[in-house]
Amino acid sequence: MNLAEHILNGDRKAVAKLITLVENNSPESIKQLSVLHSHCGKAHVIGVTGAPGCGKSSLIGKLTAEYRKLGKRVGIIAIDPTSPFTGGAFLGDRIRMQEHFTDKDIFIRSMGSRGSLGGIAKSTADTAKILDAFGKDIIFIETVGAGQADVEIAKIALTLLVVTMPGSGDDVQAIKAGILETGDIFVINKADIPGTEQAELYLEQMLNLTSYPAGKWKPRVMKTSASLNTGIAELVDAIQSHMEYLKKSGEIGAKLREKARVEFMALVKQNVTKYILEHVIKKGELEETIERIIKRQIDPYSAADELVERIFSE
Amino acid sequence: MKKIRVLIAKLGLNGHDRGAKVVARALRDAGMEVIYTGLHQTPEQVMETAIQEDVDVIGISLLSGAHMTLFPMVQKLLKEHRIDNIMIIGGGIIPEEDSFKLKQAGIAEIFGPGTNTKDIVNFILSKVKK
């Protein structure tokens, strides 16, 4: 079975199967992903983050419809939290995207966060790659309902939408660090309810406190109502202008370079650790060392140094 | 680690989903990943979702009386798309003789009103290979 080949031939079942393998950390998934690597890099990955209930899923549903009008093929990865107690998850983002279920040019995958913090799952970046190689032009990644510091998505999205809604905080909230520093576009969804102007004002004031050098992207504030379907085309325009900016300014190169660096270093770390655990540490030695650390016979810093030195002397 | 993935679907013209949600919650609490897609699903939507989400089980909730039409439609679609590794279970108001017929036609189990959610969990755990 060669899933990668099937995926490149447009087989959505193979896409679904490979995503499962990636989620389950199967060694087979690595082989398939390395085949797909040379076919990636064409998609515009758009992160959508924000507090629970602000309308991320509904907004993605409407944006998807708009992109379909433009003839774009769309992939959606929707992440919901995994229970830290049972490991189970209730994945309900699809409910807001029903109109797209049978469109062959749209692929939607729900995902449990499976213990990852930061708003996305460990397998989210690889899943985006699979959808990219599968030929999706636009890939939405919907984070779990995010808090103030869930900023992992900023590392994998080229354009990040931070979604908020009227009444979700005053100007003090808007000054805080974290998620509000990461947005390329701020979306006030549910802009049909009272308090919209106030929310817009707070965000604009926050942005005006930051100095953006000439030629740099200044985050925009957009107003939408997913339920009334207003502001959606304008938001797509704003997303497109952000992409044009990334290309024109050359920032896209820097972003992709940083993304590749983070990914590569993480893999090196993961593989070295795996190698040490499988080939260097003798049976029982790990537990023994941990025991010694607990009993204060050795400190963890020296223990780690000793181990690493041994790899190079061997 | 492999997790059991279950699609809970409300099929057809039927707006009561309390039961479906209770089952979804019970499966979640048993450590499964439950995908819930909302009301008024067509067999085509159920099949596409099952493919894209790569589920092990489809649980169909139906209280409208159309089970003898809609259950077979989902089965037929899955067969047409050569999908034979997804177990289908059902729940709702389904008379015993229909339940018997559906099971003979390949629906793995029908859980009627009053079923203990533990029985549904245990049934799935015993049937789906991890």
State whether A281 and A173 are in the same domain. no
A91 and B54 in contact by Cβ < 8 A? no
For B120, the enclosing helix (H) or strand (E) is helix B117-127
- Chain B nearest-CA distance from A311, in A, is 30
What are the chain A neighbours of B36 within 8 Å (beta carbons)?
90-92, 94-95
CATH number at residue B59: 3.40.50.280
State whether A107 and A234 are in the same domain. yes
Provide the domain count of chain B: 1
State whether A192 and A268 are in the same domain. no
Least confident of A91-105, A108-122, A170-184: A170-184
Q: Characterize the bridge pairing of strands A44-50 and A159-164.
A: parallel
Contact A183, A160 (CB under 8 A): yes
Mutation target for B interface from A57, A94, A100: give the one with most B CBs within 10 A. A94
State whether A165 and A207 are in the same domain. yes
Helix (H, G, I), strand (E, B) or coil at B6: strand
The pLDDT of residue B130 is above 60? no
Residue among B109, B56, B53, B59 nearest B85 (CA): B56
Q: Which residue of A has its CA nearest to B9?
A: A95
A90 and B28 in contact by Cβ < 8 A? yes
What are the chain A neighbours of B32 within 8 Å (beta carbons)?
88
Domain membership flag for residue B31: yes
Domain membership flag for residue A95: yes
Domain membership flag for residue A70: yes
B45 and A101 in contact by Cβ < 8 A? yes
Overall average pLDDT of the A246-270 stretch:
92
Overall average pLDDT of the B21-40 stretch:
94
Overall average pLDDT of the A192-198 stretch:
92
- Indicate the residue of B24, B37, B51 with minimum beta-carbon distance to A12: B51
Least confident of A34-48, A202-216, A250-264: A202-216
- Chain A nearest-CA distance from B36, in A, is 5
What are the chain A neighbours of B5 within 8 Å (beta carbons)?
20
- Contact B128/A at CB under 8 A: no
What are the chain B neighbours of A98 within 8 Å (beta carbons)?
37-38, 41, 45
User: Percentage of residues in chain B with pLDDT exceeding 90?
Assistant: 81
State whether A172 and A304 are in the same domain. no
Domain membership flag for residue B103: yes
A94 and B32 in contact by Cβ < 8 A? no
Domain membership flag for residue B130: no
Domain membership flag for residue A254: no
State whether A184 and A299 are in the same domain. no
Q: How close are the terminal C-alpha atoms of chain A, in Å?
A: 39
Overall average pLDDT of the A110-133 stretch:
92
The pLDDT of residue A174 is above 80? no
Write out the residue range of the structural domain in which residue A20 sits.
1-38
A102 and B27 in contact by Cβ < 8 A? no
Contact B37, B88 (CB under 8 A): no
Q: What is the ipTM of this complex?
A: 0.92
* pLDDT score for A276: 84
- Chain A nearest-CA distance from B85, in A, is 12
What are the chain A neighbours of B27 within 8 Å (beta carbons)?
88
CATH number at residue A66: 3.40.50.300
Domain membership flag for residue B77: yes
Overall average pLDDT of the B46-66 stretch:
94
Determine whether A271 is exposed, middle or buried from the number of CB atoms within 10 Å of its CB (0-12, 13-18, 19+): exposed
State whether A1 and A148 are in the same domain. no
Overall average pLDDT of the A86-114 stretch:
93
| Domain end point (choices A206, A223, A249) | A249
Domain membership flag for residue A189: yes
For chain A, list residues whose CB is within 8 angstroms of any CB belonging to chain B: 12-13, 15-17, 19-20, 23-25, 82-83, 86-92, 94-95, 98, 101-102, 107-110, 112, 114
State whether A161 and A63 are in the same domain. yes
* pLDDT score for B65: 87
Domain membership flag for residue B43: yes
* Integer Cα distance of B116 and A228 in angstroms: 41
Domain membership flag for residue A122: yes
* pLDDT score for A173: 67
* pLDDT score for A278: 84
Q: Which residue of B has its CA nearest to A113?
A: B33
The pLDDT of residue A305 is above 60? yes
Helix (H, G, I), strand (E, B) or coil at A176: coil
* pLDDT score for A192: 94
B53 and A12 in contact by Cβ < 8 A? no
Overall average pLDDT of the A92-114 stretch:
93
Segment A269-291, tens digit of pLDDT: 888 888 888 887 887 888 999 99
- Contact B17/A at CB under 8 A: no
A24 and B1 in contact by Cβ < 8 A? yes
Mean pLDDT taken over chain B: 93
- Chain B nearest-CA distance from A212, in A, is 42
Domain membership flag for residue A255: no
The pLDDT of residue B19 is above 80? yes
- Chain B nearest-CA distance from A154, in A, is 25
DSSP A124-147: HHHHHHHHHHTT-SEEEEEPSS--
Write out the residue range of the structural domain in which residue B11 sits.
5-125
* Integer Cα distance of A114 and B33 in angstroms: 10
The pLDDT of residue A222 is above 70? yes
State whether A20 and A69 are in the same domain. no
Provide the domain count of chain A: 3
User: Percentage of residues in chain A with pLDDT exceeding 70?
Assistant: 96
The pLDDT of residue B45 is above 80? yes
State whether A147 and A238 are in the same domain. yes
Q: Which residue of A has its CA nearest to B10?
A: A95
The model's confidence at residue A171, banded by pLDDT at 50, 70 and 90, is low
Count CA atoms within 13 Å of residue A307 on its CB side: 20
State whether A49 and A174 are in the same domain. yes
Residue predicted with more confidence, A68 or A285: A68
